[in-house]
Amino acid sequence: MRITVRSGDSLWAISQWFQVPLVLLVDSNPAVQPQSLQPGQTLDVPGYMPTVYTVQPGDSLWSIAQSQGLPVDALLLANPGVVPASLYAGQPIALPQRVVQPIVRIRDRYDYAAMVEDLGRLSEVYPFLRQRTIGASVMGKPLPEVQIGRGAKRIHVNGSFHANEWITTPLLIRFLNDYLLAVTNQGAIRGLQMGQWYATATLSAVPMVNPDGVDLVVNGLPDEEPYRSEVLAINNGSSDFSLWKANIRGVDLNNQFPAGWEIEAERREQQPAPANYPGAAPLTEPEAQAIAQLTVESDFHRALAFHTQGEVIFWGFESLEPPESAVLVNEFARVSGYLPIQFVDSYAGYKDWFIQQWRRPGFTIEAGRGTNPLPFTQFEEIYQENLGILLASLYM
């Protein structure tokens, strides 16, 4: 919510009037110099949405503030043009409304547009959520990365590498919302006070690595050519894309990384396919390039790639994983009930490359159980299982 500074105001006082942590107010206004606020300057206050209140006969700013559980100063900051002594019946004023419930709209058939809409809503209510574009898909869809926190421990999570595993995107979006809600209201998730982890960790999330593929599975054939004709040809003329894992060019993005890529290239599909074609070379696809470049630049301490299905956690690669990985995966298994598996006959995945390049903990979490795409009726169960893993990635 946008407010206007008055003479003598300070960030500390504003944080007290709105009951939000000072650090979040500072992080919501990165261009503001806290020690030199100027009258008329605007600030963003996290965790509030403005609503319109119509002044009733006999109202005063004091009585309105009392009825809403707000300090008068909060009303004055939200209404810089209002003169308390001149309040009149019928006058509209902005009423700061504290957000105390999740605001994202998690739903079945969650596509790229739904993710963009939800990230926009989260950024508006929680302006300390940092969002940037790290690249674009084959079809030109911007790939967003979001970050929460200011701590030195850097954790990366991603979802929807595979198109028909799209349920991993709303999984991450819901966690982001729950985290933002808890830290702003100085609350807890499963007994953990989230403000502590905001201070000690920085969480990076790319909720949808493969937006073109997700939209193909969820919404069907694209209108744009040549993609429409090409995916039909790759799919043998069928408009049923439920088995489609690849990006729009028929390349499996989680077989695109230079960690034993040659092994996969020899034994996997040899041409564009709905699944398991590793491409003509490593990192040919813009989506894989974007994730790789982000990872190189960000110096993540650990990385978690969310997939479906199997209720297992893959955590090793060529015995290059550090001892810390075993400690982490045992905690992930404890809080989720998933089975840890150290080695599997698979190469060229993001997790494999991360472990190989940095010798740091990397994980592929296979959420849920059944046939992809998993039915949305499993979402709540999947979320509760993986909520523990996401929390543990912050506190461990």
The structure tokens 């850097």 sit at: 154
How crowded is residue 339: how many other Cβ atoms within 10 Å of its Cβ? 13
| Burial grade of 72 (CB within 10 A; 0-12, 13-18, 19 or more) | middle
Name every residue whose Cβ is closer than 8 Å to that of residue 335 and which is 6 or more positions away in sequence: 388, 389, 391, 392
The structure tokens 């489609």 sit at: 244
Q: Cβ distance 325 to 179 under 8 Å?
A: no
pLDDT for residue 183: 98
Measured over the CA atoms of residue 132, residue 391, residue 336 and residue 358, the dihedral's sign is: positive
pLDDT in tens, 69-103: 999 999 999 999 899 989 999 999 999 999 999 99
Domains plus CATH for the chain?
2-98 (3.10.350.10), 112-213+282-395 (3.40.630.10)
How crowded is residue 237: how many other Cβ atoms within 10 Å of its Cβ? 7
Token output for 46: 């996290």
Of 145, 366, 381, 385, catalytic: 366
pLDDT for residue 145: 98
pLDDT for residue 135: 98
Name every residue whose Cβ is closer than 8 Å to that of residue 183 and which is 6 or more positions away in sequence: 21, 24, 148, 194, 195, 198
Does residue 366 carry a catalytic annotation? yes
Token output for 394: 């912050």
Q: State which residues of the chain have pLDDT below 50.
A: none
pLDDT for residue 303: 98
> Residues 145, 146, 150, CA angle at the centre, nearest 5°?
130
Interhelix angle 112-125/168-184, rounded to 10 degrees, is 10
How crowded is residue 281: how many other Cβ atoms within 10 Å of its Cβ? 11
pLDDT for residue 206: 99
pLDDT for residue 36: 86
Q: Cβ distance 155 to 393 under 8 Å?
A: yes
DSSP codes joined into one string, 173-235: HHHHHHHHHHHHTT-EETTEEHHHHHHHEEEEEES-S-HHHHHHHHH-S-SSTTHHHHHHHHT
